[in-house]
Amino acid sequence: MRLEGKVAIVTGAARGIGRGIAQRLAEEGAKIVIADILTAEAEETAQLIQRQGGQALSLTVDVTIKHLVDEMVQHTLQTYGQLDILVNNAGVMGRKHLVDITEDEWDRMVDVNMKGVFLASQAAVRHFLQEGVSGKIINIASVEAEIAFPDQVHYAASKAGVAMLTKAMAYDLGPLGINVNAVGPGTVDSHGRLAQDPERLLRYHALIPKKRVAVPRDIASAVTFLASDDADYITGHILYVDGGMLTH
């Protein structure tokens, strides 16, 4: 129960990695706010945590819209009376060749993956500073902040931006007692679909020394560590959870 007495917002927690993070934080005693644009699935995540004995509520939030993000923080404070941890997990992904990416697709990728991190962090930090909270912010980056894959120009650029945003925020906020770190997943079987495609799995295994792809709990465990007191002296760090993919 490393997070007992803490309150955490997890964006993009309706399913996949975000759901895994929310469940893991709840297991460690945190009260959870599930913030996602997918209303029904966000409520499913909250109910799942509640059935497992945790406390959780769901909010419909588009992280690219400032007033909705601000309201997310205010609703959290009204419900639980505090905020200690923000996990910026909300993100989108897409595969398209550089010459075929539309301006709208580029803007959407950058808005969700980078602007959403900025807006939610700004709203949380204002509360941390006002209340004197030594808060923890954990952003979800990607190995694609370091290495390139085909047809992922817009995604890779946005995640590289998240990595540098993490470091810059940590530099500014460290003197104020706020820790900012990121977790960079490698290949994750977020919805169990890869397990049903053995040939594709073998192609990924060729890139991963651990010879398996990650599952959401792998990412969630790293987030939980960074959110805990065990990581109090760690800030500005990108923790890659990739099974060794970046050793290549």
Q: Are 220 and 17 in contact (CB under 8 A)?
A: yes
Which one of the listed residues 155, 171, 204, 240 is annotated catalytic?
Answer: 155
Residue that has been written with the tokens 């987030």 in this structure: 223
80 noted as active-site residue: no
Is residue 236 a contact partner of residue 174, using CB atoms and an 8 Å limit?
yes
Token pair for 129: 């500073």
CA distance 218 to 220: 5
Per the CB < 8 A criterion, the answer to whether 35 and 42 are in contact is yes
Quick one: tokens of 234? 């760690």
- Residue identified by tokens 């790293």 is 222
Q: Are 32 and 55 in contact (CB under 8 A)?
A: yes
Q: Give me the active site residues, please.
A: 155
